[in-house]
Amino acid sequence: MQIRYTLLAFPLLASTAFCQETIRTNGAQGTFSASMQFAGPGPYQAKPVTGAPYSAEETVTRVQTLADGTHITNENSSRKLYRDSAGRTRVERAAMAGLLARRPKSDVPMIVEITDPVAGIKYTLDPSNKIAHKQTLVSPSNLPRLARHTTPPTAVRVPADDAQDQVKRTVEKLDGQTIEGIDVQGMRVTSVYPVDYDGNDRPITRVYESWFSPELQLVLLDTDNDPRSGETTRKLTNISRSEPDPSLFAPPGDYTVVEEKGDFTITWGSQEK
């Protein structure tokens, strides 16, 4: 079986314009092959956040409630995040969390993204094959289409479809609180979708909350409660303010560094059809 889908990826500091993920599975033998193609103009360089090192674990969980009251809970993704005082970042994640997360964790290939705004480079590490794909960061001025994603983070991220005129939206500032010893500012966005917006015969109310740390320039917790898809929670835990190990922001010594000037593909498992 072969499944293809394309997604937009905009991590903490810099990103490839898009990546196309292709998954092939063989249920009878319990084996799989997978590949990720990184394409587009290359990773863009946003203004780094300096002087605010941290490390944390990020989880994204979605809970759906069926008509009979049954709850379905899925942990859609889990990532480890690091940033040093110079603004270098490291993201460790499952390569294709959405589909392969249903397999045993030992079968899920991992990928590591290191962005170094000081040197102007990005490494995409393939731990399975011990290869570091090296790319030069591209100035946002050369990428007008992506430049809007380089602005500093804000205390609220308004869901994209709420910008439409027919949606009635209210924004509230919430009382501050502390998350894992860090002061955060809260915002709540309530969106009311009118009848027939999405084939609905009654108005639909969607509530989004975001808790932002001005000190770290990070959203530590956000929830998106949409009756059409359930409640999605993204949160950071095990947050440490210590300076991460410098070795985390460079390829390990036993990796082969490959200079990438254009598209490249990472492949795992047997590619036999």
User: pLDDT tens across 3-15, in order?
Assistant: 333 333 333 333 4
Contact (Cβ atoms closer than 8 angstroms) between residue 137 and residue 166: no
Rounded CA-CA distance 105/108 in Å is 5
Closest Cα partner for 60 from 202, 224, 176? Answer: 224
Confidence at residue 146, expressed as pLDDT on a 0 to 100 scale: 40
Rounded CA-CA distance 270/273 in Å is 9
Q: Which residues are bridge partners to 60 per DSSP? A: 77, 234
Cβ-based neighbours of 262, under 8 Å, separated by 6 or more: none
Tell me the whole-structure pTM to 2 decimals: 0.78
Confidence at residue 148, expressed as pLDDT on a 0 to 100 scale: 38
Among the ranges given (150-159, 205-214, 219-228), the one the predictor scored with the smallest mean pLDDT? 150-159
Mean pLDDT calculated for residue range 212-241: 94
For residue 104, the 8-state DSSP code is -
pLDDT of 28 strictly over 80: no
pLDDT averaged over every residue in the chain = 79
pLDDT of 49 strictly over 90: yes
Q: What percent of the chain has pLDDT over 70?
A: 70
Tokens of 23: 């998954």
Confidence at residue 59, expressed as pLDDT on a 0 to 100 scale: 92
Q: Using pLDDT thresholds of 50, 70 and 90, give the confidence band for residue 186.
A: very high
Confidence at residue 95, expressed as pLDDT on a 0 to 100 scale: 77
pLDDT of 141 strictly over 80: no
Among the ranges given (5-19, 45-59, 118-132, 207-221), the one the predictor scored with the smallest mean pLDDT? 5-19
CATH code for 2-153+217-269?
Answer: 2.50.20
pLDDT of 92 strictly over 90: yes
Mean pLDDT calculated for residue range 169-193: 94
* Strand order through the sheet with 264-269: 2-8, 18-26, 31-39, 264-269
Mean pLDDT calculated for residue range 113-123: 93
How much helix, strand and coil, in percent to the nearest 5, is found in the chain? Answer: 10, 50, 40
Q: What percent of the chain has pLDDT over 90?
A: 49
Residue type, 255: Y
Confidence at residue 169, expressed as pLDDT on a 0 to 100 scale: 92
- 15 vs 200, residue with greater confidence: 200
- 148 vs 132, residue with greater confidence: 132
pLDDT of 1 strictly over 80: no
Q: Using pLDDT thresholds of 50, 70 and 90, give the confidence band for residue 135.
A: very high
Cα angle vertex 116, ends 115, 122, to 5°?
50
Rounded CA-CA distance 252/112 in Å is 12
- 144 vs 65, residue with greater confidence: 65
Q: Using pLDDT thresholds of 50, 70 and 90, give the confidence band for residue 209.
A: very high
